[in-house]
């Protein structure tokens, strides 16, 4: 049987515990011993939670699902993350966690639609190229490969094999970085 509290009582309890958070909490910085955890585990055996309670817990844990941050909150989050870098160890963990996961075609389309038409500064474009491993030397080498290859059937496939990329990736590179005037002159 659960106890029902009046709004007045709830308010009093809330106010009396208002300062018991973080460092003010009596258990702050302490940890349960393995033995204590085991005892809690044993005492919980055989106890089942009703479907209604499970649903309440589920709703509680979903947090921001279906909600959106205000512009002000987004700015605060952005400012808080300035200068924050993810360690190499964390990057490796994320990489391992995402290995084998595939993005659906629908999601790819959504990402593409969201990015289409974005105007990026040259500085940003260069940062993206560097992040993709496209240094100035590699860019020049690839452009030279495209310009020097004999334009016969299957030439894009040969370049793709040389670069270790897919043929569509090579087509995209050519479309993006090789000027149209070049193709008109050498078609």
Task: Compute the average pLDDT of residues 139-156.
Answer: 78
Q: Domain residues of the chain, as ranges?
A: 119-187
Q: Residue 141 and residue 159: Cα distance in Å, rounded?
A: 12
The long-range contacts involving 138-146, CB below 8 angstroms and separated by at least 24 positions, are: 139/177, 142/173, 142/177, 143/177, 143/178, 146/173, 146/174, 146/178
Q: Residue 57 and residue 134: Cα distance in Å, rounded?
A: 47
Query: What is the predicted pLDDT for the residue at 1?
Result: 53
The per-residue b/e assignment along 17-44, b for 16 or more CB within 10 angstroms, e otherwise, is eeeeeeeeeeeeeeeeeeeeeeeeeeee
Higher pLDDT, 64 or 90: 90
Q: Considering the entire predicted model, what is its pTM? A: 0.30
Question: Could you tell me if 156 and 174 are in contact, meaning their C-beta atoms sit under 8 angstroms apart?
Answer: yes
User: Which residues lie below 8 Å from residue 22, measured CB to CB, with a gap of 6+?
Assistant: 28
Answer positive or negative: Cα dihedral of 51, 55, 56, 58.
Answer: positive
For residue 51, the SS3 value is helix
Inform me whether the pLDDT recorded for 51 exceeds 90.
yes
Can you give the C-alpha Rg of the chain in angstroms? Answer: 29
Q: How confident is the model over 75-89, as pLDDT tens digits?
A: 999 888 888 888 889
Q: Residue 1 and residue 136: Cα distance in Å, rounded?
A: 71
- Out of 25-29, 37-41, 65-69, 88-92, least confident range: 65-69
Question: Could you tell me if 180 and 167 are in contact, meaning their C-beta atoms sit under 8 angstroms apart?
Answer: no
Q: Residue 115 and residue 107: Cα distance in Å, rounded?
A: 12
Q: Residue 54 and residue 16: Cα distance in Å, rounded?
A: 29
Q: How confident is the model over 92-121, as pLDDT tens digits?
A: 999 899 888 888 999 989 988 888 888 888
């Amino acid at each position: 049987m659960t106890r029902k509290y009046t709004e007045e009582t709830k308010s009093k309890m809330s106010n009396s515990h208002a300062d018991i958070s973080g460092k003010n909490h009596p258990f702050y910085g302490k940890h349960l011993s393995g033995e204590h955890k085991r005892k809690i585990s044993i005492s919980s055996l055989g106890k089942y939670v009703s479907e209604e309670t499970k649903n309440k817990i589920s709703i509680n844990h979903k947090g921001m699902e279906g909600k959106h941050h205000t512009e002000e909150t987004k700015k605060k989050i952005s400012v808080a993350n300035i200068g924050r870098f993810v360690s190499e160890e964390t990057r490796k963990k994320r990489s391992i966690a995402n290995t084998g996961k595939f993005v659906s075609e629908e999601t790819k389309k959504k990402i593409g639609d969201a990015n289409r038409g974005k105007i990026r500064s040259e500085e940003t474009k260069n940062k993206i190229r560097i992040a993709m491993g496209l240094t100035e030397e590699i860019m020049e080498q690839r452009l030279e490969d495209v310009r020097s290859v004999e334009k016969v059937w299957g030439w894009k496939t040969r370049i793709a094999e040389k670069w270790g990329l897919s043929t569509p990736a090579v087509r995209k590179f050519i479309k993006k970085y090789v000027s149209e005037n070049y193709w008109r002159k050498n078609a």
